[in-house]
Amino acid sequence: MSHKAPTQSKKTWIDLQTTVDQGGKLVMVTAYDATMAHIADAAGADIILVGDSVGNACLGFENTLPVTMEMMRHHLEAVVRARPNAYLMADLPFLSYHLSVEDALKNAGLLVRAGAQAVKLEGGGANKIQIVRALIDAGIPVMGHLGLTPQSFHSIGGYKVQAKEEAQAIRLLEEAEQLENAGCFSVLLECIPKELAAFVTEVLNIFTIGIGAGPDCSGQVLVFHDILGLNPGPYPKFVKNYMDGFNKMVIALSQWSSDVKNDLFPGEQESYKLSDVVFEKLAARLSGASQLVSKSKSTMSKRKHSK
Ligand code: KIV
């Protein structure tokens, strides 16, 4: 049986670990469609995550709980069609890995078949460890996710900094070690004190990715829309907007809208033309509809002048 050679050599999680071992930092960003994937790739992201944050960022949900496997697949497939060079991961959404190990395997398998190179799942503890082991046994690389785990925000008391107290901090440290021992290639740390994230990163042999976890993680992740300021906000403290995307886009769309209303768009440059011969023939044929012909002629000359 012959295998089709890949046209581009894809990054693997081993390349990512090598970057960290050599003292480099990793950059991970979410993307939910082909356009975002092209932009993330062109900006040099090491990892693209098709996150279940698609729920709040794009789909208008208040949290990630309504996000289903069908939604994740739909967005993952769009990202895959961009053929990004970045390492491509997808989130296992709420309830896609909680019911049984078989269910987790089936759902992670669907994401891998759709083009994900790894999956991310939230939380620690015995059940999650069993699932991580089964996925890794099936050849599916797994990134863990500890700290603020949005899929359980009802039980952790909302979106707030986690593991500030000694007992919770020790538990998080232990869960991170258990995830590493179960075979995770990385652990994402969300919204925890920076000193704790530094301890975890120091203790683990695998790399950490932080979001609201201070500067000492092996890499950082932010949601695409948050970096570019695409939603009106407010944003969590850990987000830094690098662009006022929302207002920039509103201004651009308003300019276009005003051009349409003032008959400045489309102009000559954005219009297709008949040859003079065909135009004259049509005009003669439509001489009965003289109003239309004269309107068309006057619109054309008006546009010529406005350009
Ligand atoms: O879905 C998501 O965007 C996440 C973030 C923590 C990056 O998991």
Q: Assess if residue 262 is contained within a domain.
A: no
Q: Is 91 in the pocket of ligand 1 (CB under 6 A)?
A: yes
227 within ligand 1 shell (Cβ under 6 A): no
Query: Cβ(11)–Cβ(86) under 8 Å?
Result: yes
Q: 40 C-alpha to center of ligand 1: Å?
A: 15
Tell whether the model's pLDDT for residue 304 goes beyond 50.
no
Is 96 inside any structural domain? yes
Residues 65 and 198 in one domain: yes
Domain that holds residue 27: 13-241
Asked if the structure places residue 251 within a domain, the reply is no
The answer to whether 135 and 128 have CB atoms below 8 angstroms apart is: no
Q: Are residues 83 and 196 in the same domain?
A: yes
Question: 212: Cβ below 6 Å to ligand 1?
Answer: no
Strand partners, 151: none
Let me know whether 86 and 227 are in one domain: yes
Supply the residues annotated as catalytic: 190
Q: Which residue has the tokens 């794009």?
A: 58
Q: What is the CATH number of the domain that holds 186?
A: 3.20.20.60
| First-to-final CA distance of the chain | 61
pLDDT for residue 157: 84
Domain stop point among 225, 241, 257: 241
What is the percent of the chain where pLDDT is above 90? 87
Q: How many angstroms does the Cα of residue 53 sit away from the middle of ligand 1?
A: 6
> Which residue among 198, 220, 241 closes a domain?
241
Whether 185 and 294 map to the same domain: the answer is no
23 with 148, same domain: the answer is yes
303 pLDDT exceeds 80? no
User: Quick one: average pLDDT of 57-83?
Assistant: 97
Domain count, the chain: 2
Answer whether 226 contacts ligand 1 (Cβ < 6 A).
Answer: no
Shared-domain flag, residues 302 and 158: no
The answer to the question of residue 1 being in a domain is: no
Residues 229 and 104 in one domain: yes
Three-class DSSP category at 216: coil
CA distance 46 to 28: 6
Tell me the CA–centroid distance for residue 50 and ligand 1, in Å. Answer: 8
- Only one residue has tokens 């039980």, namely 155
Q: Does 258 fall in a domain?
A: no
Among 241, 263, 290, the domain boundary falls at 241
Q: Which range, of 72-81, 111-120, 185-194, 284-293, averages the lowest pLDDT?
A: 284-293
Ligand 1 binding pocket includes 122 (Cβ within 6 Å):
no
H runs (alpha helix) in 43-165: 54-57, 69-81, 101-114, 126-137
Note the pLDDT of residue 250.
97
* Closest ligand 1 atom to 190 CA: 6
CA of 92 to the centre of ligand 1 (A): 11
Name the residue with the closest Cα to ligand 1, atom 2. 51
216 and 281 within one domain: no
Query: Distance, CA 9 to ligand 1 centroid (Å)?
Result: 26
- In this predicted structure, what is the pLDDT of residue 176? 98
**CA-30 nearest atom, ligand 1:** 3
In a domain, residue 261? The reply is no
Residue 185: C-alpha distances to residues 175, 279, 280 (Å): 14, 67, 71
Q: Are 307 and 269 in contact (CB under 8 A)?
A: yes
> Is 250 within a domain?
no
Q: Does the C-beta of 30 come closer than 6 Å to ligand 1? A: yes
Distance 30 CA to ligand 1 centre (A): 7
Residue 64 Cα: closest atom of ligand 1 = 1
200 and 295 in a single domain? The answer is: no
Q: Hey, which of 28, 29, 30 would you mutate to test ligand 1's pocket, going by the most ligand atoms within 8 Å of its Cβ?
A: 30
Mean pLDDT over each residue of the chain, to the nearest integer: 93
Residue 7: band (very low, low, confident or very high) from pLDDT cuts 50, 70, 90:
very low
Residue 141 and residue 183 share a domain: yes
Average pLDDT over residues 233-253: 96
Has residue 49 been placed in a domain? yes
Binding site membership of 119 for ligand 1 (Cβ less than 6 Å): no
| Same domain flag for 178 and 279 | no
Any ligand 1 atom below 6 A from CB of 107: no
Give how far the C-alpha of residue 223 lies from the chain's centroid of Cα atoms, to the nearest Å: 6
Do 158 and 299 fall within a single domain? no
